[in-house]
Amino acid sequence: MSLLQGKKILLGITGGIAAYKIPLLVRALIKQGAQVRVIMTPAATDFVAPLTLSVLSQNEVLSSFTTPGKDHAVWTDHVALGAWGDLFLIAPATANSISAMAHAKCNNLLMATYLSARCPVMIAPAMDLDMYAHAANQKNLATLAAQGVHVLPVASGPLASGLSGKGRMLEPDALLSELETFFGHTAPLKGKNILITAGPTYEAIDPVRFIGNHSSGKMGVALAKQAQQLGAEVTLIIGPTAIDLTTLSCQVTSVTTAQQMQEQVMAHYAATDIAIAAAAVADYRPKIRMDQKIKKNNQDFQTLELVATPDILAEMGAQKTHQFLIGFALETTDELAHAKNKLKSKNLDAIVLNSLQDPDAGFGHDTNKITYIDKDGNSTPFDLKSKDAVAKDIFSQILKNYA
**In this complex, which beta carbon is closest to ligand CTP, that of residue 183 or of residue 328?**
328
Alpha carbon distance 77, 213 (integer Å) = 44
Cα 226 to chain center, whole Å? 4
DSSP H helices in 208-302: 218-229, 258-269
Minimal distance, residue 305 CB to ligand CTP, in Å: 18
CA geometry: angle at 138 spanning 134 and 143, to 5°? Answer: 150
Active-site hit among 59, 107, 213, 341? 213
Minimal distance, residue 54 CB to ligand CTP, in Å: 45
**In this complex, which beta carbon is closest to ligand CTP, that of residue 146 or of residue 318?**
318
**In this complex, which beta carbon is closest to ligand CTP, that of residue 252 or of residue 330?**
330
**In this structure, what DSSP letter does residue 347 have?**
T
**In this complex, which beta carbon is closest to ligand CTP, that of residue 81 or of residue 277?**
277
Minimal distance, residue 304 CB to ligand CTP, in Å: 18
Alpha-carbon dihedral sign for residues 210, 214, 218, 224 = negative
Minimal distance, residue 86 CB to ligand CTP, in Å: 30
Give the DSSP letter string of 173-228: HHHHHHHHHHHHHT-TTTT-EEEEEESB--EESSSS-EE-----SHHHHHHHHHHH
Q: Number of helices and strands (H, E) in the chain?
A: 13, 23
Minimal distance, residue 29 CB to ligand CTP, in Å: 37
Cα dihedral 391/220/253/239 (nearest 10): 180
**In this complex, which beta carbon is closest to ligand CTP, that of residue 174 or of residue 266?**
266
Active site annotation includes 107: no
Question: Contact positions toward ligand CTP, by CB under 6 A?
Answer: 197, 258, 277, 279, 281, 283, 309, 311-313, 327-330, 342
**Cβ contacts of residue 212 below 8 Å, gap of 6+?**
200, 201, 202, 203, 240, 282
Alpha carbon distance 362, 356 (integer Å) = 6
**In this structure, what DSSP letter does residue 293 have?**
P
Catalytic residues, by residue number, are 213
